[in-house]
Amino acid sequence: MESGLFTANNVWMMVCTALVFFMHLGFSFLEIGLTRQKNTINILFKNVFIICIGLLLYYIAGFNLMYPGDFNGYLGFAGFGLDPGENGMTAEYASGGYTYWTDFLFQGMFAATAATIVSGAVAERIKIGGFMIFTIIYVGLVYPIVGSWQWGGGFLATLGGENGGFHDFAGSTLVHSVGGWAALIAVYLLGPRIGKFDEEGKAQAIPGHNIPLAAAGVLILWLGWFGFNGGSVLSADPAGTSLVLVTTSLAAASGGISSVFLTYIFYKNLDLTMFLNGILGGLVGITAGADLMSPSESLIIGAIAGAIIVFAVALIDKLKLDDPVGAIAVHLVCGIWGTLAVGFFGAKAGADQILYQLIGVGVIGAFCCVSAFIILFAIKKVSGIRVSKEEEVEGLDLHEHGMDAYPDFRLNQH
């Protein structure tokens, strides 16, 4: 391979790494905007912690758990730390798409996302210590093990032989649903926020304190998705990257329009928050098959994802599950849809592929639910996972951090 092409590939992958890193600001803004002012510091702390601990854990063991080399297809480990080896910095590594160090950093940005999804769902009532312990175990062990089953060459990648296999291009299941399943379990174990449901069990709106910030967060996430999906081409291949960016954007746009259109039909309301989650639903939905779909198919996948958001949010409320930011609807339900869509649309569509996709969703869902339940239940029994009523009412910023995100500065008058 020409050195110029190798360099161009690697630079593109580093740009995508930066874009995925930028998504963490988007997640933070979205979560802050859709929750109350008194919990802003807590949310920022969680999101910054996730990035820092995620990278450290991925360096220590996660990367080699996820990419163990030759292994039994279920669990493997290539050792602690990082070692680029003899060819890790040459075009012989990853077919010249990037270097070993770029590979680690790009994948490390993905690893932290799973816990970020959980952060939004459990906002405003989880103990910070319990959340930190959960993040360490879930990101350090569960996420890379699941990733190894597909991206690491494990049993899901080899279903059906050489021409078959579970397909998840950039993580509708391997990233988003992994976070979404954990979010579902965490929300169930935590219970709803005070005031979310009235005495008759009817859901009550708890408005976010900064909707402009939430909108900024979604637009940042959309931008970051160009790196999330575009980088998953694993090179700067012009045909592959350009198609993926087009299918990603069209699915996001159709998801937003579909969501707001259905919201107006059912609720006679042009709800901006539903519009924003519809965009995210479209993005999650296209992520599994962005490399396989035509632009027209991406429009359909995104539109269905946007419709799913409206119904999933209503269903979650009926089940008396309290998800302040809609993380379960966006990342779990649309993640499942996007994964199954690979069997219905695009280059791999067919009955066999639908079966492979169902197996992947089912196996990963079961593993993540059981793992998340064991981790969270153990933490609940040992130290508790929910703050006290007083702490919840007065705000986690004051009680968990001793800080105020919006202090009222007054000039001293002399």
Q: How confident is the model at residue 213 (pLDDT cuts 50, 70, 90)?
A: very high
Show me where the domains of the chain are located: 3-401
Residue 222 tokens, joined:
């959309």
| Measured distance CA(395)–CA(229) in Å, rounded | 37
> How do residues 148-201 score in pLDDT, each as one tens digit?
999 999 999 999 776 678 999 999 999 999 999 999 999 999 999 999 999 888
* pLDDT exceeds cutoff 60 at 328: yes
Enclosing H/E stretch for 59: none
pLDDT of 1: 66
CATH pick for 3-401 out of 3.30.70.20, 1.10.3430.10, 1.10.2020.10, 3.50.7.10: 1.10.3430.10
49: pLDDT strictly greater than 50:
yes
User: How many angstroms separate the CA atoms of 46 and 218, rounded?
Assistant: 18
What average pLDDT score do residues 118-137 get?
96
Radius of gyration (C-alpha) of the chain in whole angstroms: 21
Buried b (16+ CB within 10 A) or exposed e, 208-243: bbbeebbbbbbebbbebbbbbbbbbbbbbeeebbeb
